[in-house]
Every structure is written in C-alpha cells, then in structure tokens.
C-alpha cells in the first residue's frame, strides 16, 4: 500500500489528526495495535508515514526520527521560538526577557524576539532595546493592532513549526489573529488566578497558517522556572558571554568575583550590557542556591 507523509497536529481519544499538504487538509488516522506493545507513542509535531485505508481514514505506519523535542508543551520538531514582548502596556522587564532567552537557549532552539505594540513607543525607546539584544538576536518589531511589519513576521513563520512564548498581555493571540484571522491561542491556565496549577487534560495542538507553517496553540515556558542548568554552565545560555569563552584568567571562571575576569571587563567597558550581566548574576545565584539546597537535603 502506498505510503504518504504527514505531520501529527492533534490527538483525539482513539485517533489523531494528520496534515498532509499534498492532499490538503486534515485526515483522521488510527494507530496500529503494535505501537502500544512496542512502546511507540506519537506526539504532536511528529512527522509520520501513513497509509490510506478504504474508509477515508489513515493508518500510521511509522514515526520519522524527531529533530527536537520540547517538554512543555510536549511537542516535537519545533524549529523556532517566537519570544513576544512589549515595551509598554505591559513593559516587560529585561530580567523576564532574559529568563525566556535562557530557557530557549537551554533547549537549543533559535529565538526571534517579536517586539509587539510598537505603535505605543517611539524610535528612541526601540533603539534602547535593540542596543541590548540586537547584536545577538533577530528582532522583529511589529504592531498587530496597526498591522505594522506583519509581512516580515509572516516570512519568519512560513513553512516552519514554531512556538510562541511570552508573558500574558503582550499580544500573542492578537498577533496570530492579525496574521491569520480565525487562528487562536488557547487561554493559558496561569491567567485563571484561583485555578492556578490545575492540570489540563487537553493536549497541545498545532494550528496551520493559511500561508503555510504551523504554530503550537499553547505558549511555551509558561512558568518560567529555570531548568536543571549547572550554575557553571549558565554562561553558555548568554551568547555575549559564551563567545568570550577562554578569555578570562581562570579557565573555569564563572564571572562573579574572580580576578582577571574578561567578561566583567567587557561589562565595565559597556560592550556587554549591564542589564544582561545583572540578569546573569541573578540567575546564577538562583541556580547556585538550588544546588546548595539539594546538597543540604542529602545530609539533612
């Protein structure tokens, strides 16, 4: 039987929906019983091979190797993260932005920083932001409300599997609706206040843009908790620190209070931005404290 290729976009209780661009549209697929016995469990984002059966349904035959796998939301083959923020209403703090960037670096996915609501800020305010991040990250300034620069954002998303991240209120769902009316991000659990932390039984879903490409309906990194990074490796998640590897007097310098620290020299000279370095120190201390707590429990 002819084997076709598609992407899993959604799960039902007994089957899953697969998008096959050659056919166009979604197709309900079942899973062969042997998958369960072999411990094979497809997830959203998986590229699969399937065969068409007589009743217009498909049957998954195999899962192609996963390029990447994100745990929250659980989704495979994500190619990029769109970090959405705004500089007014709300003014997202640099520390929050830096946490998102560390989380993205940890999962080794490229980030595009989408600065939304540029209709609310002037050039100088945008330039100040660009000076901090522009050298190391791709920045795409947009206004979903005034429809500014949306064509560029569309180019970024076209043909790829992406996930959005960013605090609530920055305009993630507005952006999707401006790009493709009818698309909607799921309301995040956290914003529901009293029900905080409650588990959802629904799974993540991939939404398909009319212009081609997919986006997860659930924002990534909703709780902003730092992953299990060894404090000494945090520098790898800051490109401007990572690129100076080996330049400090001590090869194992963590750039906190060691003598001959080249990173600190660059901070003082202004070529590493002080707000980035402050974020680095805060997160370093947080990871260090966590490490000490764990060590303490071992003996206590």
Residues that bind ligand GDP (CB under 6 A): 116-117, 119-120, 143-145, 166, 168-174, 185
In the complex, minimum distance from the CB of residue 235 to Zn ion, in angstroms, rounded to a whole number:
8
CB of residue 261 to Zn ion, shortest distance in Å? 3
Give the residue with the Cβ less far from ligand GDP, 51 or 200.
Answer: 200
By a kind-dependent CB cut-off of 5 to 8 A, residue 168 interacts, out of ligand GDP, Zn ion, none, with: ligand GDP
CB-nearer residue toward ligand GDP: 190 or 226: 190
Per partner kind, with CB cut-offs from 5 to 8 A, the member of Zn ion, ligand GDP, none near residue 255 is: Zn ion
Closer to Zn ion at the Cβ: 85 or 261?
261
Q: In the complex, what is the shortest distance from the CB of residue 216 to ligand GDP, in angstroms, rounded to a whole number?
A: 13
For residue 12, the partner it binds in Zn ion, ligand GDP, none, with Cβ less than 5 to 8 A by kind, is none
How far from 293 is each of 202, 288, 300, CA to CA, in Å? 34, 9, 10
The listed partner (ligand GDP, Zn ion, none) that binds 9, CB under 5 to 8 Å by sort, is none
Using CA atoms, how far residue 186 sits from 5, 10, 157, 219, 220, in Å, is 27, 14, 19, 8, 12
As measured in angstroms, the least distance from the Cβ of 247 to Zn ion is 8
Question: Residues near 108 by Cβ (< 8 Å), separated by ≥ 6?
Answer: 68
When CB distances are held under 5 to 8 angstroms depending on the partner's kind, the choice from Zn ion, ligand GDP, none that residue 263 binds is Zn ion
Residue 35 vs residues 28, 48, 119, 166, 199: alpha-carbon distances, Å: 17, 13, 51, 36, 27
Partner whose binding site includes residue 171, from Zn ion, ligand GDP, none (CB under 5 to 8 Å by kind): ligand GDP
Q: How far is the CB of 253 from Zn ion (least distance, A)?
A: 3
Shorter beta-carbon distance to ligand GDP: residue 81 or 272: 81
173 binds, among Zn ion, ligand GDP, none (CB under 5 to 8 A by kind): ligand GDP
Smaller CB distance to ligand GDP: residue 96 or 247?
Answer: 96
Q: Which is nearer to Zn ion, 169 or 260 (CB)?
A: 260
224-263: contacts with Zn ion (CB under 5 A): 248, 253, 255, 261, 263
Check residue 75 for interaction with Zn ion (CB under 5 A). Answer: no
Site for Zn ion in 261-300 (CB under 5 A): 261, 263
């Amino acid at each position: 039987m002819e084997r076709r290729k598609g992407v899993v976009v959604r799960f039902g209780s007994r089957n899953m929906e697969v998008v096959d661009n050659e056919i166009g549209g979604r197709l309900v697929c079942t899973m062969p019983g042997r998958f369960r016995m072999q411990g094979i469990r497809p997830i959203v984002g998986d590229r699969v091979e399937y065969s068409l059966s007589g009743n217009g349904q498909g049957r998954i035959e195999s899962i192609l190797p996963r390029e990447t796998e994100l745990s929250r939301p659980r989704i495979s083959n994500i190619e990029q993260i769109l970090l959405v923020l705004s500089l007014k209403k709300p003014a997202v703090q640099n520390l929050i932005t830096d946490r998102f960037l560390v989380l993205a670096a940890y999962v080794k996915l490229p980030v595009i920083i989408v600065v939304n609501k540029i209709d609310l800020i002037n050039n100088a305010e945008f330039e100040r932001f660009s000076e901090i991040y522009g050298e190391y990250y791709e920045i795409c300034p947009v206004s979903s409300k005034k429809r500014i620069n949306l064509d560029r954002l569309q180019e970024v998303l076209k043909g790829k599997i992406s996930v959005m991240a960013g605090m609530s209120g920055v305009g993630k769902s507005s952006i999707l609706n401006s790009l493709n009316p009818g698309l909607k991000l799921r309301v995040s659990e956290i914003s529901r206040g009293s029900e905080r932390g409650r588990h959802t039984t629904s799974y993540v879903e991939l939404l398909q843009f009319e212009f081609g490409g997919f986006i997860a309906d659930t924002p990534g990194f909703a709780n902003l908790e730092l992953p299990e990074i060894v404090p000494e490796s945090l520098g790898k998640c800051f490109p401007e620190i990572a690129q100076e590897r080996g330049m400090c007097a001590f090869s194992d310098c963590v750039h906190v209070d060691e003598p001959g620290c080249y990173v600190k020299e660059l901070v003082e000279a202004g070529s590493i931005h002080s707000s980035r370095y402050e974020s680095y120190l805060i997160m370093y201390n947080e990871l260090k404290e966590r490490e000490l707590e764990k060590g303490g429990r071992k003996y206590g």
